[in-house]
Structure 1
Amino acid sequence: MHYIDSGSGTPLVLLHAYPVDSRMWDDVRPGLAGQARLITPDQRGLGRSPLDGGGPNGGGTVPRPDLSVVAADVLALLDRLGLDRVVLGGCSMGGYAAMAVLRAAPERIAGLLLVNTKASADTEEARATRLSVAERAEAEGGRGWLAESMLPKLLGTTTTTRRPDVVDTVRGMIDGQPAAGVAWAQRAMAARPDSSDALRAAGVPALVVTGDEDTVVPPHLSREMAGLLPRAEYVELPGCGHLPPVEDAHSFVRTVLDWLPTVG
């Protein structure tokens, strides 16, 4: 599992959205790493992490698509780094993966940071769409069409109209993802269970962040998810869509740093 480990202080592990990789945290890395030990892995099959888990030269086997596999990868990374407990966060798919870790090993989590994600499982319609995208990625590769279909969902209107540099950056990340990893991630997300009970049982400090222009997980759904968590704060960032760390890095960093001391 490829990862970047920078800074010192409270261990903060951030898991990226689909269909990008840990580069989505690049703009927030300097600000967060000034006050936390920031660890940002590429999830299995995306970025520089191999799908088979066997290292850069392969040699492993590809497991059945399931976010419990991603959770096991994250826990193995924590073991490798000697970290018993961390603040664990994730954006979108990264949030789903963080909830999978919460279900598997709640004792490893000192705090939760959930960004533009949701606790519910997919509807049948959403699941069918994911499986269709997985099949197309395997048949055609993902370059071009995947970015064109995802960019209007990932970025808010403000970013799309005013920040062409951000649009180009996200497009480049999407175009660079391996088709097999894209397909595996879609199938893993399609198979995920509801995590509402795990959130209700989470007694740790939590921060739920959303963009007010997100159409994938509209703000009212994020507020509802925050209501499941016994110790949650909820923050809505203006002018952001589904990827606030990319769209408004300054506001995202300020929000996280204001909350992080509550973890202790």
Structure 2
Amino acid sequence: MHYIESGVGTPLVLLHAFPADARMWNSARALLEEQARVIAPDQRGLGESPLDGSWARSLAEPSDSRWAAENPSIDTAARDIVELLDRLELPKVVLGGCSMGGYVAMAVLRAAPQRVAGLLLVDTKAVADNDEQRANRLNAADRAEREGTSGWLADSTLPNVLGRTTHEQRPAVLKQVRELIEAQPAEGVAWAQRAMAGRPDSTDALRAFTGPALVVVGEEDRLTPPEHARELADVLPGGELVTLPGAGHLPPVETPDEFAGVVRPWLAELG
């Protein structure tokens, strides 16, 4: 599994959104690394991480690797993260995720809650997809395999993941996110869509988590809007909600200074 690491201090693992990779955290990571050891992995099949999970001891047998590649699951993505923590000899970390990264973080929480010292959920949701959302994901996965992803994936994604302010005032961010999307392998895009389509509800896992939890949401997010983030924070016993003005679904990319500005004091409270 490919990952980007920098900084010293509290181990903070950041899981990226779909369809991007670990580079989406670069601007925010540079602002957090003075007080945290920031580890940002490329999730399976995206960025520079292979789809077959060939890095993982638990998937060392070729038959296991083939099974995981052919049976997309957020739980498999979560096992990848636990394997990375083992490899880095990190018994416990602050775990953060944006959008799909939040789904994976919640799957880690379901599978290995003892590894999570704190939870940072950014523009994500605990509930499973409804029938329409699931069908849309599966159709997009089929199209990615059939046609590749050039052009259409970015064109269909950008209007939803970036806020109004970004579209109107931040052309460099728009270009950056388009390039991230265009760089993702079609097979990884298809795998991730199918994995997200099949994910379970994580509400009970969040309700059982008694550690510190920060929920961050962009005020202009249309996919997981602030009212949904409030519901998420209310489920968490230690949940705190922060809404960031001028950001959509990707605050770490759209407003990295403001994002880091709310995460830094929260991390400081964790010690």
**TM range, smaller chain:** over 0.9
| Aligned twin of 2:97 | 90
Q: Within 2, Cα distance between the matches of 1:54 and 1:195? A: 28
Q: Within 1, Cα distance between the matches of 2:250 and 2:52? A: 27
Compute the TM-score of the two structures, normalised by the length of structure 2. 0.95
Q: Is 1:68 aligned to 2:62, yes or no? A: no
Shift of 1:168: 0.4
Residue 96 of structure 1 aligns with an amino acid whose one-letter code is Y
Residue 19 of structure 1 aligns with an amino acid whose one-letter code is P
Residue 53 of structure 2 aligns with an amino acid whose one-letter code is G
| Contact 1:24-1:246 within 8 A present in 2 as well | yes
Q: Within 2, Cα distance between the matches of 1:263 and 1:184? A: 35
Equivalent in 217, 220, 235 of residue 210 of structure 1: 217
Q: Which runs of 5+ in 2 are unaligned?
A: 56-61
| 3-state SS in 2 of match to 1:110 | strand
| Aligned twin of 1:150 | 157
Q: Within 2, Cα distance between the matches of 1:126 and 1:42? A: 24
- Counting only pairs closer than 5 Å after superposition, residues 188-207 of structure 1 correspond to structure 2 as 188-207=195-214
| Aligned twin of 1:17 | 17
> CA 1:63–1:102 in structure 2 vs 1: closer, same or farther (change >3 Å)?
farther
| Aligned twin of 2:232 | 225
Shift of 1:162: 0.3
| Aligned twin of 1:51 | 51
Q: Within 1, Cα distance between the matches of 2:270 and 2:109? A: 16
Q: Within 2, Cα distance between the matches of 1:40 and 1:93? A: 14
Q: Within 1, Cα distance between the matches of 2:126 and 2:254? A: 23
Q: How many percent identity over aligned positions?
A: 62
**4+ long deviations beyond 6 Å:** none
Q: How many residues align?
A: 261
Q: Is 1:168 aligned to 2:175, yes or no? A: yes
Q: Within 1, Cα distance between the matches of 2:243 and 2:29? A: 20
| Contact 1:119-1:195 within 8 A present in 2 as well | yes
Shift of 1:135: 0.3
| 3-state SS in 1 of match to 2:54 | coil
Q: Within 2, Cα distance between the matches of 1:63 and 1:81? A: 27
| Aligned twin of 2:58 | none
| Contact 1:210-1:244 within 8 A present in 2 as well | yes
- Counting only pairs closer than 5 Å after superposition, residues 235-250 of structure 1 correspond to structure 2 as 235-250=242-257
Shift of 1:263: 2.2
| 3-state SS in 2 of match to 1:220 | helix
| Aligned twin of 1:40 | 40
| 3-state SS in 2 of match to 1:26 | helix
Shift of 1:31: 1.0
Per-residue CA deviation, residues 162-188 of structure 1 (Å, 9 max, x unaligned), is 001000000000011000000000000
Q: Within 1, Cα distance between the matches of 2:234 and 2:47? A: 33
RMSD (CA atoms) = 0.9
Compute the TM-score of the two structures, normalised by the length of structure 1. 0.97
| Aligned twin of 1:27 | 27
Residue 66 of structure 1 aligns with an amino acid whose one-letter code is S
| Contact 1:205-1:262 within 8 A present in 2 as well | no
| 3-state SS in 1 of match to 2:12 | strand
Shift of 1:118: 0.3
| Aligned twin of 1:261 | 268
Shift of 1:98: 0.1
Residue 258 of structure 1 aligns with an amino acid whose one-letter code is P
Q: Which runs of 5+ in 1 are unaligned?
A: none
Residue 93 of structure 1 aligns with an amino acid whose one-letter code is M
Shift of 1:63: 4.5
Per-residue CA deviation, residues 205-259 of structure 1 (Å, 9 max, x unaligned), is 0000000000000110000010000001100000000000000000001100011
Equivalent in 170, 192, 201 of residue 185 of structure 1: 192
| 3-state SS in 2 of match to 1:28 | helix
Shift of 1:54: 1.8
Shift of 1:262: 2.5
Q: Within 1, Cα distance between the matches of 2:230 and 2:29? A: 26
Residue 14 of structure 2 aligns with an amino acid whose one-letter code is L
Equivalent in 122, 143, 155 of residue 136 of structure 1: 143
Residue 228 of structure 2 aligns with an amino acid whose one-letter code is L
